[in-house]
Structure 1
C-alpha cells in the first residue's frame, strides 16, 4: 500500500491513540535509585556537580528509601563513603562498614518489602589510592593486581549479602571476579543471592560527577587497564559472555546513552535480565541544560530514559528515578 491509502499519521491523532499504540513504556518499577551513604547523623550534603543528589547519613538514607517505596520505584543501588580508607579498601568487607549498616537499617523498615536493595561491589570508594583493586608499585610504575583484587572483592560480596543485600553488583571489571564471588557467596550460605555484573563497563568521561559524589577519584593514573575501551563493541560481548559463563544472573551496562548500540547488541545476543546505568555525567549534562533553559526538563528527562528502554534495557539505574516516578504517577 502506498500514500494516500497508507497514512501513518492516523495513529498519532490524539494522546489516547498515541498511548494505545506506544511500543515502549516507562514505569517507576523499572527504576533503581542510587544512594551515597556517609557517616554521621542528619547529614544531607548536596553533591555540587549533581543537583538534587546528596551524600546521606544512614538515617537520611532510610527516609529516601521510604520515599522511593511510596513512589513505586523498583529498588536502590547503594554506595559507601567511609571516613577512613586504606591501601586494600578493607571497609568494603567490614561487618560494620557503612553500606553494611545502611543495608540493615533499610531492611528494618516497611519500605524494604517493595524495594530491591542492591549493593555495589568495588574497592575504589574504600582505597586510599582510589583504584578498584590492589596496587603493586615498582618505583614510579604501578599496576592493578587482578587476582589479589578479586579475592578481596569476593569477601566484600559475601559481607554485603550477609548484611542483607538482595543483589550484589560488581563494578570493578577485574577478570574472573564473577566466579570468585559466586564461590564466596555459596560458601557463606548465600546461594540465593544473585550477582548483577557490570559486565561491560567502559572507561568513560561521563563518570566525573560520580567521583565527587563517591569520593573515588584515583590519586594517580586512570582506570583504562581494567575498564573497557569505548571503541570496542565486540570485546564488550566477550566480556558479557564470560561473566555469564562464570555465573552472572543479571547484567548492567554502563554508561547508557553514549553506548545505546552496546545495549542493543547485548539485548539481541543474551537473554539475561539486563539494566543500564544512566551515569552521573549524563544526569549532570542534562541538568546544566535545564538550568540554562535550553531543554524542557520533564520532556528531556523522560525522552532520555525512554531511549535507554527502547535500546533494550529492562531496568535503569538513574538519578532521575524520583522525579520520573512523580511524573509517571
Structure 2
C-alpha cells in the first residue's frame, strides 16, 4: 500500500489549528522537511511553521527575535500577535503573517539585509545565545549507518581538527547579531522589489564572517555562483570575507556540515547516498581541487 507522504504532517497541522481556533481546510504545504511550513487558506494570510521535536525553546526565541527585528525596522517576516508557540504532540507551532507573492532573492538581494542585521545593536531583552558552528555534526556522524568505519573515523578526526582550529581563529569583526543560515532561499523579493529576510531559527551572537562564508563557498567550493555574481554580493555588502585569514577554516567547517547533512538525509532517503559519498570523497581529496559540484539533497 502506498502511503501519502503529506497525510501524517497534515494530521498534525489539523490538530495544531484546532488548538488555536483556526481551520486546516485547504491548507497548502510550502515545505515539509525538518520544519513543516503550511499556508492556511481564507484566514487573512497565515503561515504555520511546525518545528521538529525538541525545538520549543528555539521556536519561542525565533518569535522573540522577529518581534525585536520589527522594532528595529529590519524587513523580515512577522509573527502573528498572539501567544506562541503552541505545543501539540511534542512539536512547537508558530504563526506568521504571509508575505506578498514573492520569489527567492539573489545573493546581491541578500547582502544589504545581512549588512543591516549585522549593524543592529545587541538586544538586551532577547537571549540570543552564542553561535554553534558544530551543532549536530558529531551526532550526524555517529548516527550515519551508511558510513564505513574508516570514513567515520576520518570525519570524526576532521571534526576534532576543525574544532581546535576554530578555537584559534584570527581576529575578525566584533561579535554581532548573525542570521546563521544566510542563503538566498532565506531572502524573499516581491514583485515590486521589496526584500524580506526569512527563517530566524539559527539567529545568534557570533561572527558575521560565518554568514558571509555561506555565500563565498558557493563560488569557491561548489562552483554554483559565478565570480561576477559573488563580486556583486561583496559590493552590496561592502566586504569580501575571503580577505580574512580565518576564511579557510570557516570554509572547511561549512563543507563538513554539508557532508554530514547529506549522510543524515541518506538515512531517510537512500537516493541521497550517492551524493553523500561524493561529498565525502571531495573533502578527502579524491575528486580533485575545488570547486566541486555538489547537488542539493533533502
TM-score of the pair, normalised by structure 1: 0.28
Report the structure, 1 or 2, having the larger strand content.
1
TM-score of the pair, normalised by structure 2: 0.30
